[in-house]
Each structure stands twice: as C-alpha cells, then as structure tokens.
Amino acid sequence: MTPDSILELLKQVPYPGFSRDIVSFALVKNVEVENGIALVEISVQTNDPKVPEQIFKDCHAVLDPVEGITHAKIELDVQEPAAQPGAPGDPAIKNKIPGVKNIIAVASGKGGVGKSTVSSNLAVALAQAGHKVGLCDCDLYGPSIAHMFGSHERPLATEDNQIIPIPAHDVKLMSMGFLLEEASPVIVRGPLATRYTQQFLQNVEWGELDFLILDLPPGTGDIQLTIVQTIALSGAVIVTTPQEVALIDARKA
C-alpha cells in the first residue's frame, strides 16, 4: 500500500453536500504509510462542525476495510473560512431588499422550458404554506407572469414613487406585462435593461416578504448579471427539459 494508492481510495470520499471528492478539492495535504499504519492529513475551512465529522467517518469507511492497512489515522485541521468579498463588514457586500428575507432566482440557459410555470407554482405553493411571497417577472422581453395569474391591472405608485405590486392568489406580483399592452414589444438592451431590472427590485414596495421569487429570462445576459452583482441571492432553481440540447444550455447557465 502506497500513498498514491491511498489517494486513489480517498477519491471515493465526497465533500459533504457536493458531488466532488476531497482529493479533487485539494483538501488532502499529506499521506504517509509505515508498517501498515496510514496517516492522512486533511485541511478543511468551515464553520459547520458536521463537515469534518462526516469526512472523518467517510475516510475510515473507505480505508478501514482495505487489506494492508492495519490502522488508519485521520488528522483533520479545521480552520475558519477566510473572509470573502461580500462577507459581513466587507465594503463590497451586496444589497438586500428591505423587508425581504429570502430571494430565489428561477433560471435556465434555454427558453421555453417552463421557468415561468415553475416560478408561478413555487410562489403560490409557498403562499399556501403560510409564507408571505412576492414574484418578480425579470423577463423584460417576454413577460408572462401577468397572463399566467390572469391579472392585467396597472400598478399604482406611493408618494415616494415606489411601485405598488399587484396582488393575486396571495402573491405580490410585478411584471413588465402590467406596464405594457399585451401585443406591445419590449426593445431594451444593455444599460436600459440593467436600469429596468434594478427598478423592479429596488423601487417596488414589496413590504415584508418571506420569499421573493425572481423569474429570469433565458441565458446569462445583462439582466442575470445585474441581479447577481447587486443583490444577495438565497438560492436558485435551474429549470430544464430532458432533451440534451436543453440540458447543455442548463449546465452552462
């Protein structure tokens, strides 16, 4: 048994919550083998105590049954994660929308795969579960949320020029579809698309929300970049259909 063969075995140990293994993440810093005793030194940066515990158990599960290893000694060096841009106290921190606890983006690299359907059903399901929910149609070019909720009201504004979202099915809605006639095309690009997106996020009177769902247009253009650069997302849902051409675009997104 050699250090290289032990490294190969450790490729079976995934980092908790990921499909990649601890070797590909370069967490294994040293491997020594002497008289049947295997010493493995692993360095992990995390605040979650369950992560090193799981890695420790998984390493033993892989190495203990191997012939030629009488004892596996796993040494874990657990460190605090280094501060990242956007961390608390960092000047580059992304903005949060006042009153909104969680922001979830629904996206895909390909159009016509059901993003708006997923966004609408997710928003209504969360509302039916007792949460306060908003749904922002960020697809400026092909807004469909207004049609899907069967509402074509014109939004009003507050004295502070904040847009008041349209309520439907216990969900607060905002969409370009409320501002235009149904057959009117939307022709925006670059800075104008960025400006509209920022207004929908920051100049709408969302109030207190548990979840704000963002229905994004297909691709990874100006609108998507504006969102990820200016607000802190809690998570994302990538929508696709089973066709390979759709899966290729979904992986890119």
Q: Using one digit for the tens of pLDDT, what is the confidence trace for 44-83?
A: 988 888 999 999 999 999 999 998 899 999 999 998 865 4
Residue 157 Cα distances to 63, 154, 162, 197, 205, angstroms = 65, 10, 5, 17, 9
pTM of the model: 0.59
Query: Percent of the chain scored above 70 by pLDDT?
Result: 87
What pLDDT was estimated at residue 83?
47
Q: Where in the chain is the domain with CATH 3.40.50.300?
A: 100-252
Enclosing H/E stretch for 29 = strand 28-34
Long-range contacts of 197-200 (CB under 8 A, 24+ apart): 197/138, 197/140, 197/222, 197/223, 197/226, 197/227, 198/226, 198/230, 199/163, 200/136, 200/138, 200/174
pLDDT by residue (tens digit) across 116-133?
Answer: 999 999 999 999 999 999
What pLDDT was estimated at residue 219?
76
Answer whether CATH 3.30.300.130 is correct for domain 3-79.
yes
Between residues 84 and 219, the one the model is more confident about: 219
Mean pLDDT of 188-217: 84
CA–CA separation, 226 vs 218, rounded Å? 14
What stretches of 99-204 adopt beta strand conformation (E)? 100-107, 133-137, 166-168, 171-175
Q: Where in the chain is the domain with CATH 3.30.300.130?
A: 3-79
What CATH homologous superfamily does 100-252 map to? P-loop containing nucleotide triphosphate hydrolases (3.40.50.300)
